[in-house]
Chain A
Amino acid sequence: MAINEGLGSLRASDADREQAVEALKAAFVHDRLAKNEFEAHVARALTARTYAELATATTGIPAPLNSVKRAGTPSPIAAQRTCWGMSEAELAEALGVSRQTVILIENGQYLPSLPLAFTIARFFGQTVDDFFGYPDEGVS
């Protein structure tokens, strides 16, 4: 699997699809979507196989409704690590930190220092914003 495909090529789960439908429902309730648009988006979300397809189905939905980090969704770092076929211990050794720290960073329970954040991003050939960026607020 190519590295640059990132999260988009990963398979979405039923929980992810349900989450997307919930976001679409919220957008419909807030009059952000017309009824025919809502139906079309929901149909697309329910048939989405990957995160990229799911993202297409929820395009235009504001970030607060369409949360970037969904329950059950692997963090970007965990997804990249999986794409690279690395274990937590191997990534920890490559980054020069402990396995426990990698786990906590992936779970969002520890925010690394800037140097470590840059090390992680450069290791995967990405930017810091890809891994630790805040979602845009109120952007439709």
Chain B
Amino acid sequence: MMTFLPLRLRKPAMYSLAGLLFAGAWLAHGGRLWWVSVPALIGTVAIAARLYRLGGTDTDEGARAGSRADERQQLVSMRSRALACNLAAVTSFIGLTAAIALRAPWWWPFLVTLLITGYGYLFGLGSFGVAEEGTPDDADTESPTQFPVGS
């Protein structure tokens, strides 16, 4: 996705697209609040410009904003996302529990978030981390495993 764009433009373009969709949603919402789409659009342009500018700096943040992060910077980014996901899951659980206790009608968004983070975690394990069940090294041999003989 967006691989046709120069590295430095990818993050600003992604944020611009998200901001446009958000502003468009307010416009589609119509009514008296249609004007919210205007500050949303202005904010999007400001964020995209800041990201583009940051992408040209020689810092860790600049490398991430410019989509040229090396392995350490990617690792830091990945840990931060994992932390954010953990917080989202914990917050959702607390919200769901509170909503149930209060018999509130707004319990379901917490449940949806909790399910998404949970299934996302399981999907990640299946995609990245689960090793195939192999046989022990000496299971398919009739003779016992030979170890080097010490002198």
Residues of chain A having any CB pair with chain B under 8 Å: 89, 96-101, 104, 110, 112-113, 116
- B72: min CB distance to chain A, Å: 5
Residue of A nearest to B70 (CB): A97
Q: How far is the CA of A25 from the CA of B71 in the complex (A)?
A: 43
B72 to A110, Cβ gap below 8 A?
yes
Q: Does B58 contact A (CB under 8 A)?
A: yes
Residue B63 lies at the interface, judged by CB distance under 8 Å to chain A: yes
Binding site for A on B (CB under 8 A): 58-60, 63, 69-73
Determine the distance from Cα of A116 to Cα of B70 in the docked complex, in whole angstroms: 10
Question: A36 to B69, alpha carbons, bound, how many Å?
Answer: 57
Output the residue of A89, A99, A101, A110 with the most chain B CB within 10 A: A101
A-B contact count (CB 8 A): 28
**Which of A96, A97, A113 lies at the interface centre, i.e. has the most chain B CB atoms within 10 A of its CB?**
A97
Q: Which residues of A contact B58 (CB under 8 A)?
A: 89, 98-99
Q: In the complex the two chains form, is B71's CB within 8 Å of A112's CB?
A: yes
A89 to chain B: which residues have CB within 8 Å? 58
CA of A89 to CA of B70, assembled, Å? 14
**Chain B residue contacts of A98, Cβ below 8 A:** 58, 60, 63, 69-70, 72-73
Assembly CA distance A113 to B71 (angstroms): 8
CA of A98 to CA of B71 in the docked complex: distance in angstroms? 9
The residue of chain B having its C-beta at the shortest distance from the C-beta of A105 within the complex is: B72
Which A residues are in CB contact (< 8 Å) with B59? 100
- 6 A-B contacts, Cβ less than 8 Å apart? A98-B60, A98-B63, A100-B73, A104-B72, A110-B72, A116-B71
Q: 4 additional contacts, CB 8 Å, given A97-B71, A101-B73, A116-B71?
A: A100-B59, A100-B60, A101-B70, A112-B71
Chain A residue contacts of B71, Cβ below 8 A: 97, 101, 112-113, 116
In angstroms, Cα B73 to Cα A100, docked, is: 9
Cα of A67 to Cα of B48 in the assembled complex, Å: 50
Give the residues in chain B near A116, CB-CB below 8 Å. Answer: 71
In angstroms, how far is the closest chain A Cβ from the Cβ of B89?
28
CB distance from B63 to the nearest CB of A (A): 5
Q: Smallest Cβ distance from A87 to chain B, in angstroms?
A: 12
- A96 to chain B: closest CB distance in Å? 7
Which residue of B is nearest A101, CB measured? Answer: B72
State in angstroms the CA–CA spacing of A89 and B58 once bound together: 10
* CB nearest to A96 among chain B residues: B70
- Expressed in whole angstroms, the minimum distance between the Cβ of B105 and any Cβ of chain A is 49
Q: Which 7 A-B pairs have the closest CB atoms?
A: A97-B70, A101-B72, A98-B70, A98-B63, A101-B70, A110-B72, A113-B71
